[in-house]
Amino acid sequence: MANLNVVVASQADALSSAESSDLPPVDRVEGLGVDDFVARYRLPRRPVVLTDALKQWPANGRYTPEFFARAHADLEIRCAGKTYRLAEALSLQDQATEGHPGPYPCTIKDARSFVRDIMPRLPWALPNRHTHPLVPELIFNSISHIDIFFGGAGNQFPFPHYDYLRMHGWVAQLYGNKEMTLYEPGQEHLMYVDPQRPWRSVMEYADQPDYERYPLFRQVRSRKVLVRAGEALFIPCGTWHTARCLDPGISVLFDQLEASNWREFTGEVVAMRRRAGQPLKAAAIGAYLRVLGPLLGIAERFGANRRPDWGVPTHAGEGTMLHTAGAG
């Protein structure tokens, strides 16, 4: 812990200050060891910005809009259901303003060619269980474990949500600035939760809420945090949040499943099956996951689930654990 440096948000860092005045700002930490991270942030479910998190990634400082426009101009990219050439999408985002945002969300359909540039997996984001062979892959059919996002000024995920299946979320910012709004835990009764998709709110625009339709939302407590290039934000499982791009930016979003959120993950998987009208499958997979969790915990004491290569193939011909479903 000798190199630990906790940076308190300043007035100049206005976007990192608490939106609810009685909430402390999210810590910004440099030189944080993994054990300290687990004790101070992961287990207590506290968000944190790791300011030096990406220094080992080849992509850090290299992945810019200009790089992608030059080296991958013809790569197909999906933006809000429409296919663009990457160079075209980046040009539209570069011209975007707060009042006239460009297409979004824009994600690379197949990120395997870029995985080597975002290795090693961050040590604070280990262990991770979702690529373990005993964890049924079918659970993740609609989840993208690694997303490379491109955004421009004014682009946002405006509806409050938490990461699907109660996995921890990570936002690794490679270029530009992203503003995250994080909502305090235990406020679901104020969030107008969608009963069919209980990981998100029915509100479309939390930054400009319709208080006549959603009066309880006035009571919600939240704080904003700025994630800059080279930094990574840890979002604990079940943390409701929204995201907004302040300028042209490139982010890597990924999730984490480990011992401390395994129980919530299991509960979400079971509830998902029940909502789908599959009570027997829900019971069976719930029983399986409840037995599997402690076994994985024992294996992790001996180094299991700590692959720095993300546990995924890096070439299109190898098969994949990189799913290509929508954004998170």
Q: What is the pLDDT of residues 268-300, one digit of tens each?
A: 999 999 999 999 999 999 999 999 999 999 999
Name which residue leads in pLDDT, 314 or 305. 305
pLDDT of residue 142: 63
Angstrom distance (rounded) from CA 78 to CA 91: 15
* 296 inside domain: yes
Instruction: Provide the residue type at 51 as one letter.
Output: T
Q: How many domains in the chain?
A: 1
Confidence label for 111 from pLDDT (cuts 50, 70 and 90): confident
* 152 inside domain: yes
* 248 inside domain: yes
- Look-up: residue for tokens 């704080």? 223
Res 34 pLDDT > 60: yes
Query: Which structural domain, as residue segments, surrounds residue 30?
Result: 5-318
| Residue 121: alpha-carbon gap to chain centroid | 14
Confidence label for 7 from pLDDT (cuts 50, 70 and 90): low
Q: Mean per-residue pLDDT for 126-154?
A: 87
* 325 inside domain: no
Structural contact between residues 221 and 184, judged by C-beta atoms closer than 8 angstroms: yes
141, 172, 227, 310 from 247: Cα distances, Å: 32, 16, 12, 29
pLDDT of residue 137: 86
Q: What is the CATH number of the domain that holds 248?
A: 2.60.120.650
Provide Rg for the chain, Cα atoms. 19
Name which residue leads in pLDDT, 110 or 245. 245
pLDDT of residue 19: 59
Looking at the chain, the whole-number percentage of residues with pLDDT higher than 90 is: 69
* 164 inside domain: yes
Confidence label for 18 from pLDDT (cuts 50, 70 and 90): very low
pLDDT of residue 96: 82
Confidence label for 116 from pLDDT (cuts 50, 70 and 90): very high
Res 185 pLDDT > 90: yes
